[in-house]
Amino acid sequence: MVEDRARHEMAAVTVAEAVMQALRRIGRAIELHSHSLASRYGLTVPQLAVLKELRAGGGRSVGELTRAVHLSQATVTGILDRLQRRGLVQRRRGEADKRKVHVWLTEDGRDALRRSPPLLHENFLEAFGRLRDWEQTQILSALQRIVAMMEAETIKAAPMLAPGPMDTTPEETRSFFGGPAAGAAPTDDEATP
C-alpha cells in the first residue's frame, strides 16, 4: 500500500512536470515568434495585427480597430503613432464628422504585410478549427482550470498570442530578449521612448 502511494505521488509529479514543461513550451513559442517578428520585420504582434485588420477592412476608425483587435483605445493609438511614423499607415479626419479619425494602409504598409509571416495565433486558430468540438471544449476546460490554479482569472488578455504588454515597440521586444539579433537592421520605432 505504501509502495502504491509512493508510485502514485511519483507519477503525479511527473505529470505535473510534463504540464509545466508544456506550458513553458507554449510560452517560449510565443516569445520566439514575437522576437522573430521584431528582429526580421521590425514589427510587434499587435502592430502586425492592426495592419492585417486594416487590410481586411480598408479605411477604419480607431474605435473600429480597437474592437477588432481587442486592445484598448490608448494602446491602438500608440500602435498607430508608431506605424504612421514609419509610413505604414495614414490617418485622416472624417469628412462628415471631423471628430472621427480614419486609418488606411499606405503602399509601404501593404508591402510590409506581403513580406510578413502569419501571426502565431492565426496558425493556432486554423489548427484548432480542425479539431472536433469535444476536443476544443476539453482543451478550453483544461486551460481555464490552469488559469484558476495560477490565480490568473483577473488578468486581462487579448485573443492573440504575444508576450507582455501589447503596446511595446520592436526595440523593447528585442531588449526583453537580450538585445537585437545579429545583423538586424534598426527600425524607426527604436527612437521611440
Q: What is the pLDDT of residues 80-100, one digit of tens each?
A: 999 999 999 999 876 777 778
Specify which of 1-5, 41-45, 137-141 reaches the highest per-range mean pLDDT.
Answer: 137-141
CATH code of the domain covering residue 140: 1.10.10.10
Tell me the CA distances in angstroms from 106 to 63, 84, 88, one per residue in order: 19, 9, 5
Q: Which three cell numbers stand for residue 187?
A: 527600425
Mean pLDDT of all residues in 172-180: 50
Which region among 3-7, 107-111, 115-119, 149-153 has the lowest average model confidence (pLDDT)? 3-7
What is the total count of domains within the chain?
1
**Beta-strand (E) ranges in the chain?**
60-61, 89-93, 101-105
Q: Name every residue whose Cβ is closer than 8 Å to that of residue 38 and which is 6 or more positions away in sequence.
A: 44, 170, 171, 173, 174
Look up the domain containing 46 and give its range.
2-191
106 neighbors 68 (Cβ within 8 angstroms)? no
Distance CA 193, CA 112 (A): 23
pTM exceeds 0.75 for this model: no
The pair phi, psi for residue 61, each rounded to 5°, is -75, 160
